[in-house]
Amino acid sequence: MIEKISSKKVKNNPIGIFDSGFGGLTVMSAINKILPGENLIYFGDTAHVPYGSKSKDAVIKLSKEIAYFLIKNKVKTIVVACNTASAFALRFLQKNSNVPVIGVIEPGAKEAVLKSNNKAIGVIATEGTVLSGSYPSEIRKISKAKVYQQECPLLVPLVEEGWIKGEITNAVIKKYMKRLLEKKIDVLVLGCTHYPLIKKALAESIGQEIAIVDSAQATALEVKKNLAQKQILSNRKEGNFKFFVSDNPKKFEKIGKLFFEKRISNVKKQELWG
Amino acid sequence: MIEKISSKKVKNNPIGIFDSGFGGLTVMSAINKILPGENLIYFGDTAHVPYGSKSKDAVIKLSKEIAYFLIKNKVKTIVVACNTASAFALRFLQKNSNVPVIGVIEPGAKEAVLKSNNKAIGVIATEGTVLSGSYPSEIRKISKAKVYQQECPLLVPLVEEGWIKGEITNAVIKKYMKRLLEKKIDVLVLGCTHYPLIKKALAESIGQEIAIVDSAQATALEVKKNLAQKQILSNRKEGNFKFFVSDNPKKFEKIGKLFFEKRISNVKKQELWG
């Protein structure tokens, strides 16, 4: 059970964001663009990346430890910027934390339903997210749309290699998209925080008739809405950033900037106790 | 420090083999082909896969726990069937265990030197293995050959997708091989236990003039030599297999058979204590 600490309405407290690795930095980047005055703390669980192939129990255990660390750092809200952790651990964290916890799946699911006319929605994600059934389940709550999921295990390493365009990337995307296109989807949800980096290649592959839902952007808008409702948006002009990882801070600084689109420095190592 | 237990010369004790996931099963398969009478215990650390992107400290910590588990299970020798763990943790395990510990790097390095005429050796591996410099360092001990290393982060997920041949696999291999071929290598070391599954595609890409060293085979021969020297080879006709994983036993049964080339059943979950 995560220590319950009172959620004082402290406008200047930071927003805590976590992911298994680098991917959540696309969510952090989207939050920073929409809410530039907020202080942001990021935790990347690089010792245990990727979560996509782990079991539910394992992901809950790790997420709990990270949420505890963020709460100790006085965050006013927690963003689970990882689709697998949102799929497996969000309910647990919401139940056991006294600060609001926002995942990436619900905002993406809502936007997908709004954008779909023929009610056929495609979702691309990691194995863990697909197997969890979280996107179909969230969409089913608000719509009768059909949901077609596709696991794409190669897309994360492709992005981390920096191969965000070109022959190989296009061929891999084409292979993964084949079945979804046959289903006549009109919306494609990027169900993994790495995928915004290949949004352009995906858009070219699927054509203009299919709308892309970037869950990083949808989540950032949800965070803004939530803080505004609670009247705890910061009044600051410019917030600062803190970064913690469970392994390899140097690598995080180097690769992280691809995802965050800004320089990353002073990354601190914070081991999880397992 | 790993508990020191006396290495009784017990012929019928099993051989312990471990890896971060499935890959080491190619080594187990090679050992089973060469030594069919041996009982084999496999530990796949699927809760922490992949090791390739982890730091040295993290890999040593995990390897230590697994070696301890195997020693408790009375293994007569330990095979570190993972290139990253061999690179980072072999010396530590050899120093702190009372059973022989054999890695996959030294056998592959020795065979590469034997096979190279123009003394230009290529090594393909994960990031962790490349950064460790273990292959260049092992080769340097016995030869003045030049060693050219290439990280190939996409090959592991390609193999796990089952895309072991075809247009995408060939294009990815071609991209990774480009720099090595320019260096006029005449031997290519498969420095990751996943790669034997794409040996055919690799061979077609690099042509017949370049010899491929499969470190799984080289390691199995080294194990046989070592047990024979100590006169502790089993007299059994047919050995049995036991499998332990730290997460997702069902997935291990399903994907594992691609690597082991035999049916895998009754996989037990054994958590590491972190």
Segment B182-218, tens digit of pLDDT: 999 999 999 999 999 999 999 999 998 999 999 999 9
Mean pLDDT of A163-179: 96
The one-letter amino acid at B39: N
Asked if the C-beta of B47 comes within 8 angstroms of chain A's C-beta atoms, the answer is: yes
Query: In chain A, what residues touch B157 (CB-CB under 8 Å)?
Result: 153-154, 156-157
Q: Rounded mean pLDDT of chain A? A: 93
Position with higher pLDDT, B5 vs A162: A162
Residues whose CB falls within 8 Å of the CB of residue A168, separated by 6 or more in sequence, listed in order: A158, B168, B171, B172, B175
Beta carbons of A224 and A37 less than 8 angstroms apart: no
The structure tokens 């916890």 sit at A101
Q: Tell me, what's the pLDDT at A2?
A: 55
Collect all residues with Cβ–Cβ distance below 8 Å to B229 and sequence separation of at least 6. none
Which two three-digit tokens encode residue A235?
Answer: 């009044």
Put the strands of the sheet holding A146-151 in their side by side order: A146-151, A120-125, A187-190, A211-214
How many beta-carbon pairs under 8 angstroms link A with B?
54
SS3 A187: strand
Tell me, what's the pLDDT at B50?
82
Integer CA distances (angstroms), B37 to A254, B14, B74, in order: 49, 10, 17
- Which residues of A are less than 8 Å from B64 in CB distance? none
Confirm or reject contact between B166 and chain A (CB < 8 A): no
Question: Which pLDDT tens digit goes with each residue over B155-175?
Answer: 999 998 999 999 999 999 999
- A169 to chain B: closest CA residue: B168
Helix axes B105-115, B215-229, angle to 10 degrees: 110
Instruction: Report yes or no: B161 at the A interface, CB cutoff 8 Å.
Output: yes
Q: From CA B85, how far away is CA B59, in angstroms rounded?
A: 6
Cβ neighbors of A131 (< 8 A, separation 6 or more) are: none
CB-based contact, A34 to chain B, within 8 Å: no
User: Which ranges in B15-119 belong to alpha helices (H)?
Assistant: 25-34, 56-72, 83-96, 105-115
Mean pLDDT of A36-58: 91
Looking at residue A5, what is its pLDDT? 44
Residue (of B16, B17, B13) closest to B26 by Cα position? B17
Phi-psi label, residue B166: left if phi above 0, alpha if psi -120 to 50, beta otherwise: left
pLDDT < 50: residue spans in chain B:
4-8
CA distance, residue B143 to nearest chain A CA (Å): 32
Catalytic residues of A: 82, 192
| Residues B223, A186: Cα–Cα separation, whole Å | 56
Nearest Cα to Cα of residue B24 among B219, B178, B184, B173: B219
Closest Cα of chain B to A16: distance in Å? 24
Helix H or strand E segment including A235: none
Residue ranges of domains in chain A: 15-103+218-269, 106-215
Beta-carbon separation of A247 and B54 below 8 A: yes
In angstroms, the CA A208 to CA A202 distance is 10
* pTM (two decimals): 0.84
Does the CB of A157 have a partner CB in chain B at under 8 Å?
A: yes
A168 touches chain B (CB under 8 A): yes
DSSP one-letter string for B151-186: E-TTHHHHHHHT--SSHHHHHHHHHHHHHHHHTT-S
Chain B closest-CA separation from residue A155 CA (Å): 9
- Smallest Cα distance from B249 to chain A, Å: 10
Under a CB-based contact definition with an 8 Å cutoff, are residues B46 and B221 in contact? no
> Residue A206 contacts by C-beta under 8 Å, 6 or more apart in sequence?
A177, A181, A188, A212
Q: Does A170 touch chain B (CB under 8 A)?
A: no
Q: What is the pLDDT of residues B2-13, one digit of tens each?
A: 554 444 458 999
**pLDDT higher than threshold 70 for residue A41:** yes
Residue A108: what pLDDT? 96
Q: Considering the domain delimited by B106-215, tell me its CATH architecture.
A: 3-Layer(aba) Sandwich (3.40)
Residue B82 falls in the annotated catalytic set: yes
Count of C-beta atoms within a 10 Å radius of residue A170:
15
* CA closest to B271 among chain A residues: A58
Whole-number pLDDT of residue A129:
87
Neighbours of B3 (CB within 10 A): 11
B172:A168 CB<8 A = yes
Q: Do the domains spanning A15-103+218-269 and A106-215 agree at the CATH topology level?
A: yes
| Average pLDDT of the residues in A248-269 | 93
d(CA B90, CA B100): 11
pLDDT-derived band of residue A9, with 50, 70 and 90 as boundaries? low
Which fold is adopted by the domain A15-103+218-269?
Answer: Rossmann fold (3.40.50)
Amino acid identity for residue A64 in this structure? K
The interface pTM score, or ipTM, of the predicted complex is 0.80
Residues 71-130 of A with CB under 8 A from B: none
| pLDDT tens figures, A56-110 | 899 999 999 999 999 999 999 999 999 989 989 999 999 999 899 999 999 999 9
